[in-house]
Amino acid sequence: MSNILVAGAGGFIGGHLVKRLISDGHKITAVDLKPLENWFQLFENAKNFTLDLKDFSSCLKATKNISEIFNMACNMGGMGFIENNKAECMLSVLINTNLLRACKINQVKKYLFSSSACIYNTNLQKEPFIKGLKEEDAYPAYPEDGYGWEKLFSERMCRHFYEEFGLQTRIVRYHNVYGTYGTFDGGREKAPAAICRKVAEAKIKKLNTIEIWGDGKQTRSFLYIDDCIEGTLKLFYSNYTEPLNIGSDEQVSINQLVDIAEDISSLKLERKYLLDKPKGVRGRSSNNERLKKVLNWNYSVKLKDGIKKTYDWIYKELINNSSNTKKYTRNTDLLI
């Protein structure tokens, strides 16, 4: 049993991680910037705090008597958000910087930083259905502006804190994580959640069209949340200290993603392409060769299965919220 801090515990990945760590028997301190009532999942057998970890004094407070840290905290969202909020995304560098400084003072033993596939050189992502991105493809550096630069710089900070101060750091590069208990509207949602929501709304409201950002030919690979958590823990408790992809290599176009959601809902919608909307790089997918070699593990949830779980949850949320003023139905299994 360890005393573990999860930063960003009120968010999508953070909430699922807290649930898993509690089930594994750890003592959890859960911290997020959002008020507790806005956390996606909230557990009574964790110590839950609302703190701004961009502030150094808050980091010192949060890391006291902590042995291990999972840093999931950042200001982020889907492509529409990160392309229009570059400065705000870059301010997340203060979270990682001040948590690392606090680790040194409070003698934290191990630290995981949640990085992103957005750190990869965008010159390698100009065509659909590209080869999977390998970890070494991060350099020479030309990441997504704003969000990607913040993540890449923070990776380097983790590396140097390991080299100079002996802090055991782990760096995970997530590739488009999706699933239940996450954002699906409001502007911060990612493609799987947005498409599931749009198709579910079409079914509920008996609509016959769907809006798609771009021409639908841009490609990505998407990782279901259960695999994300499993891969994260396997990396954290391994001896591997270099950045590592945690993603799927099941690359699909946005049009194909819509096909999957339509099949699940038994709909066929007319597609309206919004060519002026943010759409990011043309193609992106994870190369999992090093993941399989280093961790002897790979993702297991196929895209169609994960999208069905996500669609079913979002559909239920939309039905429930049509007669409920609450924004989302939170995970109340262990709600305070």
pLDDT of residue 172: 98
Amino acid identity for residue 88 in this structure: E
Cis amide leading into 278 (omega within 30): no
Taking residues 108-133, report their average pLDDT.
Answer: 97
3-state SS string for the chain? CCEEEEECCCCHHHHHHHHHHHHCCCEEEEEECCCHHHCCECCCCCEEEECCCCCHHHHHHHCCCCCEEEECCCCCCCHHHHHHCHHHHHCCHHHHHHHHHHHHHHCCCEEEEEEEHHHCCHHHCCCCCCCCECHHHHCCCCCCCCHHHHHHHHHHHHHHHHHHHCCEEEEEEECCEECCCCCCCCCCCCHHHHHHHHHHHHHHHCCCEEEEECCCCCEECCEEHHHHHHHHHHHHCCCCCCCEEECCCCCEEHHHHHHHHHHHHCCCCEEEEECCCCCCCCECCECCHHHHHHHCCCCCCCHHHHHHHHHHHHHHHHHHHCCCCCCCCCECCCCC
Closest C-alpha to 4, from 73, 75, 74, 62: 62
Taking residues 18-32, report their average pLDDT.
Answer: 97
> Per-residue pLDDT for 42 more than 60?
yes
pLDDT of residue 251: 97
* Active site amino acids: 147
pLDDT of residue 272: 97
> Per-residue pLDDT for 151 more than 50?
yes
Instruction: Reply yes or no on domain 3-178+224-248+286-300 having CATH 3.40.50.720.
Output: yes
pLDDT, tens digit, 9 for 90 and up, residues 230-252: 999 999 999 999 999 999 999 99
Question: Quick check: pTM over 0.75?
Answer: yes
pLDDT, tens digit, 9 for 90 and up, residues 59-109: 999 999 999 999 999 988 877 888 889 999 999 999 999 999 999 999 999
pLDDT, tens digit, 9 for 90 and up, residues 251-268: 999 999 999 999 999 999
Name the pairing type of β-strands 3-7 and 47-50. Answer: unpaired
